[in-house]
Structure 1
């Protein structure tokens, strides 16, 4: 997908690692918690007469030395990241446009909030109006949260802790393990329960264990101390130190993110009874019961355990933990999870930590926080209104045509693949033919009739939204999977590949310039949105996606020889990314980013093929001195013209399966033969690779 959050349920884990976009750091989600800070608007991007910002290029840079800089250098030299953001580029610009459009919708709907709203329009308007009533939030103080804090103080033993942690699915509490309901990876027609490692407050285990993040860890402990002080917790500094020490122990047990990308290693089915034997020290039945799962037959119900060693070790750590520590840990994380709905003192405390973590200097305006909060609770309801107002029907039609063009190009690539054996190639073609694309908005809209919203109850409304979402999935647990469910809202600037459905989804909000531009030259659209389409398609055949068959089942349908040949090519490509230095001493993790890198190379390759096929044998036009192939490459490069803060880069290199923008342009390009011809790249240029060094997978 296009942007990735670092705090995810397993529901999104495969989807988000099989997407196209740059990851968003965890604190960006927090940073919608804004006071009254306003940020000067960034000037809207100009894409010229035919879809490319020619003035944004740095023509003093030789394309063969740094194509990213050649295509985007002048634009980026004059770009200042808004003070309330950690990065800025096309994703951010379109996300901001989407927020503004949603704000317009919510401003209209919230003009007359209702005490007990019934219609979805009333619920949306009342939810947003209540959130925006900052005076009321300040007046209520911590009273709305008191019942949750009292429940924590009443927690006197391990069984009570497991019960409280289980309730995290329906409120602001936290849990040392995550629980999700997803299609079963080996039978995606039915849902399964997934249990995974969790419990860390910093972005990744490396933040606890590696010395280069020591300052961030210290800032985190300072933040915990401030939060506990605000709620008058006894000995807050001592409790904060104990919490960080406890989470460090959990971090030592956690699997690395690169290992989480292996769907075979993270598929470990067992009954709840077997889980209790494998991971003693935690009341699993009590935890699951508190989460609302049916009690009857619970011990015999199957769960899919993602990281068995981490779950076992985590349970052992919990068994040793003092109940006072667990109370403080729960109290801190409950406040942290609810901060958006609490008075400004809590927001400011979190922002100070956010600033230390990412370098973001200012908080966004409160209305952005309100848009985010309302979207979290009723995203699909907002999406329906968004589509009606802002998504032209012709965009859906144009995308469907482009998708078919890319699918045709991929079919030809597979038919002529030289390193695949015939049986594997035939199976790959079957998978491609089964490939489903959904564009703009889902085929079915969600019903929010059961979601309770009350005027003036900011904390309660948000908590009800969390509970509604969880109950929505619990109700589906023993029912057939609905393939029309989306894991993104239409107003999300992103796209994703769902390997369990052999499906890709393109929300409405991404189908705008520079990704898709109805007024642009065809070559530019093929390079931009065509590259995105190809990227998502090839995710079905990357190092993760290839392990799912044409029905979305986790099954090894490759011969060993084919898998070995594929891996050798993937390793060669990974080495190119490992060598890429983002900042002095900071390198891309080629293993973590492998799937995205393969998809970038495949997507751009397919986009170029589809563009050539669209010419139907006719010569391409030359526009402003640029050939068709050159415009395809510029279309792709322009999508990635993003600037990031240094601390954000350092975080994303550890947490994000997507490579940084420069790498997403330069490395795929210099593996494609047509790029050399298009830009007259020769030996001696910095990006030059000999033909034998170029990696060709699809």
Structure 2
């Protein structure tokens, strides 16, 4: 079952998780102060306090680092660009190759400030031809198309409830030129607050070479325009489709059909707008200020998004922290090559890792299927074929760009900046009118088998399900077990939604094992006298047991899995199981039995403790003994996969 929901912590594997409640084993309440802190007594209680290093620089939040930190990760850029261009891996990675070409052109000897000023001056040339308000809007289109700035409006390629699953071009109010959000700006009436805004804007104009008095006057002009723009904002506005003919009738002075077609690179008859009232009033707003004031405002928009401003902000920060400045070439590459950096990062830490993981999971399944006693030889042949051939759809946190069409010049940094800006905008347009049943990849943490392929969404490629810098043990215990969970669903003889290929003998043998699993989970208590219903959660319990078992076997195919080096004081095998617990440790405990509602997914504590008691490797990893509370005799451990 697919859920188009948006919480990374509450959505999982096709059904809503509801952050499930803790369970008590053998009618004993889970009191963290009373439980013994050993793995064999209660693995959930043992695992929740264990700290695992995740390979993140300086203990950074994993999702913050993923989404925001790449452009300033100079060490990572240096690692890439210092590799020889003759390196085979580099030649096979187009994004990395282009990034190195860009970096080499940035090593032309020009200083960061010299280049920043020249780029700013080049960008300002496009304001000289503005003679009327139509020219002004054409300049806004140019700035947007070349990723220079986004004044007065912003373009996104997205889908809406009424767009029939299509990604469509959508215009909204400008997204990044206000010093405050619109509401905050209108509330910033105190003189001290407005003084600081004006001070920041004045500093930007002085940075561009304007005299102090002129910069101050320009800042007041910008503030007046910003106030009027803020008054037209409507945070609750929704998207609606508008014909360009109707828009033109509302704004006869502005050639909207030509402007929109220029922006999108092809003629169109209609456009989606968020806050239509703003766009209908824009022509009137333009007429409230002289054209010269609007040129000042566009200059401010260029400045706020410029490399010049970035360098200024870094200089201010370095004076405060006394950090050493990075090289000019690294500065230039980090600012203009953000998307290239993301793509090389994606290849280095996502695609390669996930591809290897998928390959190892398929090998592990194939090897294990051949040993299963309950499955007949004909069924094994079919199951192995399904594992080998099932397609995977992986939506990564960043859109994958190929960059084959990006032409860079090894010695001309200015042409390269222009080419890269235009390429990135065109990549945005490439998704125009492409149908998709997928939500945006960063929106959900979800995965499911739809009967034909296994789909993994981008939310699962972020913490707490995947850590790009972590060791393999962590990622096989999290994402690896999640993917294997879905692979297990695909092969489950008892999954009624899928046509079975098993004979009756296979199904009866598997049903016997399933009955044992139902009994195990039905012996867990959610709260008070409320038992967990092992029959309701059976499908997920089977997939959890199979997923974690197969992820562990796949992990043993890795270099780390074949070694015995400890990290954080834990062996590699221990880290696999601790990582699994890390995903499920945050469990909602209902306030009363009356507030608990049965769910096909078991409580998080059951997902941690339930599978491991049936996995021999867990006993060996933590030296679980017969005297421990969770110990199961080996002949009682349920072996389904």
TM-score normalised to structure 2 length: 0.54
Q: Does 1:306 align with 2:274?
A: yes
Partner residue, 1:451 = 406
* 1:133–1:181 CA distance, 2 compared to 1 (3 A): same
* 1:271–1:496 CA distance, 2 compared to 1 (3 A): farther
Compute the displacement of 1:615 (Å).
4.3
Q: Is the 8 A contact 1:102 1:386 kept in 2?
A: no
Which blocks of at least 5 consecutive residues in structure 2 are unaligned?
A: 10-31, 36-43, 88-92, 366-390, 448-452, 487-535, 549-569, 572-576, 601-641
Q: Is the 8 A contact 1:120 1:448 kept in 2?
A: yes
Compute the displacement of 1:162 (Å).
0.5
Secondary structure of 2:305's counterpart equals helix
Compute the displacement of 1:247 (Å).
1.7
Compute the displacement of 1:272 (Å).
1.0
CA deviation vs aligned residue, 1:558-593 (integer Å, no higher than 9, x gap):
xxxxxxxxxxxxxxxxxxxxxxxxxxxxxxxxxxxx
Q: Does 1:287 align with 2:259?
A: yes
Secondary structure of 1:305's counterpart equals strand
Distance in 2, matches of 1:190 and 1:74, equals: 44
Secondary structure of 1:154's counterpart equals coil
| 2:544 aligned to which of 605, 608, 614 | 614
Distance in 2, matches of 1:289 and 1:459, equals: 27
Partner residue, 2:304 = 336
Q: Does 1:125 align with 2:72?
A: no
Compute the displacement of 1:439 (Å).
2.9
Compute the displacement of 1:385 (Å).
5.8
Q: Is the 8 A contact 2:441 2:459 kept in 1?
A: no
Partner residue, 2:203 = 226
Q: Does 1:162 align with 2:137?
A: yes
Q: Does 1:394 align with 2:342?
A: no
| 1:197 aligned to which of 158, 173, 177 | 173
Partner residue, 1:20 = 8
Q: Does 1:250 align with 2:229?
A: yes
Secondary structure of 1:304's counterpart equals strand
Determine which structure has more spread, i.e. the larger CA radius of gyration.
2
Compute the displacement of 1:504 (Å).
2.2
Partner residue, 2:380 = none
Compute the displacement of 1:218 (Å).
4.4
Q: Is the 8 A contact 1:81 1:88 kept in 2?
A: yes
Distance in 2, matches of 1:398 and 1:487, equals: 23
Partner residue, 1:461 = 416
Q: Is the 8 A contact 2:147 2:422 kept in 1?
A: yes
Secondary structure of 2:83's counterpart equals helix
Partner residue, 2:26 = none
Compute the displacement of 1:444 (Å).
11
Q: Is the 8 A contact 2:409 2:416 kept in 1?
A: yes
Q: Is the 8 A contact 2:248 2:256 kept in 1?
A: yes
Partner residue, 2:501 = none
Distance in 1, matches of 2:333 and 2:60, equals: 21
Distance in 1, matches of 2:160 and 2:66, equals: 34
Distance in 2, matches of 1:496 and 1:694, equals: 24
Q: Does 1:635 align with 2:577?
A: no
Distance in 1, matches of 2:106 and 2:190, equals: 35
Partner residue, 1:181 = 157
Q: For residues 509-588 of structure 1, what are the structure 2 equivalents within 5 Å?
A: 512-513=466-467, 518-519=472-473, 525=478
Distance in 2, matches of 1:521 and 1:376, equals: 25
Q: For residues 323-402 of structure 1, what are the structure 2 equivalents within 5 Å?
A: 323-339=291-307, 342=308, 346-351=309-314, 365=326, 367=330, 370-371=333-334, 373-377=336-340, 379-380=342-343, 383-384=346-347, 390-391=353-354, 393-394=356-357
Q: Does 1:505 align with 2:435?
A: no
Q: Is the 8 A contact 2:151 2:301 kept in 1?
A: no
Compute the displacement of 1:379 (Å).
4.5
Compute the displacement of 1:166 (Å).
0.8
TM-score normalised to structure 1 length: 0.50
Distance in 2, matches of 1:611 and 1:316, equals: 63
Q: How many residues get paired? A: 452
